[in-house]
Amino acid sequence: MKIAFAAGEVFPYAKTGGLGDVAGALPVELSKRGHEVKVFMPKYNTFGETEFGLRYNWDLGEIPVRVDGQIRPVHVHTATLPGSKVEIYFVDCPHYFHRFRVYTNDPDEDERFILFSKGIIEILQRLKWTPDIIHCNDWQTGLIPVLLKENYAWDKMFDKTATVLSIHNVAYQGIFPKNAFAKAEIKQEHFMPGGLGEFFGNINFLKTGILASDVINTVSETYKLELKTPEFGCGLEQFLVSRENDFYGILNGIDYDVWNPKTDRLIPHNYSPAGMGGKIKNKKYLAGRLNLPFDENVPLIGIISRLVDQKGFDLAAYGINQLMELNAQWVILGSGDEKYESLFYDLAKKYPSKVSTYLGYNNELSHLIEAGADIFLMPSRFEPCGLNQLYSLKYGTVPVVRKTGGLADTILDWNESLAAGSETGTGFSFNEYSSMNMADALKRALDAFKNKSVWNKIQKNGMKQNFSWGRSAEKYSDLYKKALLKRSGK
């Protein structure tokens, strides 16, 4: 199949969260399975053209794309995704994308992604490359299905092209004032109550994608079920229920070429289930880097996260004194809301031999933490899939998670496995969103840590798990077939 894969961020060029990882890895796996894939992302000025060997595409030249009545010149650069033959097309429009940030709160944020969406379709036309599938991701590409089926319906090349929309996080919907559809030249009727995009007097790009694409999926089975409820659906639950028959859950994979303690070049000591000696050496190295006193018998709890409400750190804020009484050390790597940044910053100042905080984004440190920590904490309020718990499993860093979304689908609680008569648990989890329950799960983990043979068993159970992209890519292939059937009216 020919697949055009569209995303607002693609690793390694730009990444603000899990979508970047998915967009960098899934297309490569799809291509290994014989699909012809072209990836599209904006050319931000957060990365340089020479840095990744981008080539200017002279054949395409300058492409005029109209947004809000203005013609904007678009140029295209191409590269191949690292370690693959997959071509990536960078939609270059300095007026919109040279902002030193990937996403913005600027008043023309809607225009930026209208241009991106139209730009992709215009490029496909000029390439004369008809995709079987356009795979859209999140609100940034949510308008493509309706643009394709209405604005570009005159172009017969797209007659059979089906659209898939993946929802990576329903909390980000792309809600804009009501003139956004006029800017995109999408029919005004879609802004009327009951229309594709209308949302409490505004325009909602994600809702538009949900209603206009052939099939929809999200990134875990449990999150799919949660999204159909008011608690998790963020106002879109009724639309997802209305598309229930076309709505699927496919767990993300992880890229074991990047995240594997046996081969990871960002950690000083490689290790594997057959030889775990490197893990403790990494812990010692990490403690040195963080200025924490090293003690083999004091568990090191790691956090790597965007510091936002979604990730559950109000639980830590609420029960912080109790957490500091635990016999453990903490390393926190993250950035986000001021209230959480100052919580962890102050904590490191108050408990310098117990807590180390790095505010900001640091890829190398994230690998070191996965390799050096004993426990990884992810108390998310909601979690579409979650990647860090999967990295943690591979690195023998035992996850403590809240049982929601992808965390519920990937971590089996050790005590629950014992109760069921097996020793297959891979971590510790808690159900109800409360500081008390989180502290309880952490205490169970700390108890288990004291018993080396139990701990070793839990670590190895996790390291044996396979969440490679291969499995997920098979499921996406099936999803594409369903989308094509839907498009052909069968």
Choose between 254 and 438: whose C-beta lies nearer to ligand ADP: 254
> Which residue in 57, 208, 305, 410 binds ligand ADP (CB under 6 A)?
305
Q: Hey, which residues between 432 and 451 contact ligand ADP (CB under 6 A)?
A: none
Best CA proximity match to 302, nearest among 167, 392, 183: 392
CB of 256 to ligand ADP, least distance (A): 14
| Residue 125 token pair | 């036309």
Considering only the stretches 28-36, 129-137, 139-147, 357-365, report the one whose residues sit in contact with ligand ADP under the rule CB under 6 A: 357-365
Measured at the alpha carbon of residue 37, what is the angle toward residues 34 and 40, in degrees to the nearest 5?
A: 165
Question: At closest approach, how far in Å is the CB of 359 from ligand ADP?
Answer: 8
Chain residue whose CB lies nearest ligand ADP: 18
Count of chain residues binding ligand ADP (CB under 6 A): 18
CA 356/CA 289 separation, integer angstroms:
10
Among the listed residues 376, 373, 383, the one whose alpha carbon sits nearest the alpha carbon of residue 433: 383
Taking the CA atoms of residue 179, residue 185, residue 188 and residue 194 in that order, the dihedral angle to the nearest 10 degrees is: -90
Among 32, 178, 306, 457, binds ligand ADP (CB under 6 A): 306
Q: For residue 173, how far is the Cα from the chain centroid?
A: 15
If the CB atoms of residues 196 and 290 are measured against ligand ADP, the closer one turns out to be: 290
CA 447 to CA 225: how far, in whole Å?
Answer: 33
Among 272, 335, 415, 477, binds ligand ADP (CB under 6 A): 335
Taking the complex as a whole, how short is the minimal distance between the CB of residue 83 and ligand ADP, in angstroms?
Answer: 18
Among 21, 138, 374, 413, binds ligand ADP (CB under 6 A): 21
**Which tokens hold the place of 36?**
């012809």
Closer of 253 and 299 to ligand ADP (Cβ)? 253
Site string for ligand ADP, 361-390 (x = CB under 6 A): xxx--x------------------xxxx--
- Does position 299 interact with ligand ADP (CB under 6 A)? The reply is no
Per-residue x/- mask for ligand ADP, residues 82 to 101, rule CB under 6 A?
A: --------------------
The nearest distance, CB 69 to ligand ADP, in angstroms, is 35
Report in angstroms how near the CB of residue 247 gets to ligand ADP at its nearest: 20
The token duo for 204 is 């909602």
CA 366/CA 369 separation, integer angstroms: 5
Q: Does 399 bind ligand ADP (CB under 6 A)?
A: no
In the list 3, 6, 17, 487, the residue contacting ligand ADP (rule: CB under 6 A) is 17
CB of 182 to ligand ADP, least distance (A): 32
Cβ at position 22, least distance to ligand ADP in Å: 8
Q: How far is the CB of 117 from ligand ADP (least distance, A)?
A: 22
Contact predicate 28/158, CB 8 Å: no
Q: Which stretch binds ligand ADP (CB under 6 A): 17-25, 142-150, 396-404, 455-463?
A: 17-25
Among the listed ranges 78-86, 101-109, 300-308, 430-438, the one in contact with ligand ADP (CB under 6 A) is 300-308
Amino acid at 358: Y
Q: How far is the CB of 21 from ligand ADP (least distance, A)?
A: 5
Under 8 Å between Cβ of 169 and 142: no
Count of alpha carbons within 13 angstroms of residue 11, beta-carbon side: 18
Q: Is 334 in the site for ligand ADP (CB under 6 A)?
A: yes
Sign of CA dihedral 275, 280, 284, 286: positive
Shortest distance, CB of residue 386 to ligand ADP, whole angstroms? Answer: 5
Strands 70-80, 2-6: pairing is unpaired
* Smallest separation, CB 254 to ligand ADP (Å): 9
Pairing of strands 215-218, 2-6: unpaired
DSSP class of residue 254 equals B
DSSP 266-299: TSSS--BTTBTHHHHHHHHHHHHHHT----TTSP
Distances in whole angstroms, Cα of residue 418 to Cα of each of 120, 398, 406, 454, 458:
52, 16, 22, 11, 11
Out of 3, 5, 6, 18, the only residue in the binding site for ligand ADP (CB under 6 A) is: 18
The span from the CA of 163 to the CA of 484, in Å, is 8
Of 142 and 386, the one with the shorter C-beta distance to ligand ADP is 386
CA distances from 340 to 322, 351, 384 (A): 17, 16, 21
Stretch touching ligand ADP by CB under 6 A, among 15-23, 101-109, 261-269, 316-324:
15-23
Contacts (CB under 6 A) with ligand ADP, residues 163-222: 169
Task: Kindly state the smallest distance separating residue 18's Cβ from ligand ADP, in Å.
Answer: 3
Q: Is residue 310 within 8 Å of 382, Cβ to Cβ?
A: yes
> CA nearest 144: which of 124, 129, 128, 172?
124
Tokens of 399: 């996850």
Alpha carbons 309 and 172: distance in angstroms, whole number: 13
Binding site for ligand ADP (CB under 6 A): 17-18, 21, 169, 304-306, 333-335, 361-363, 366, 385-388
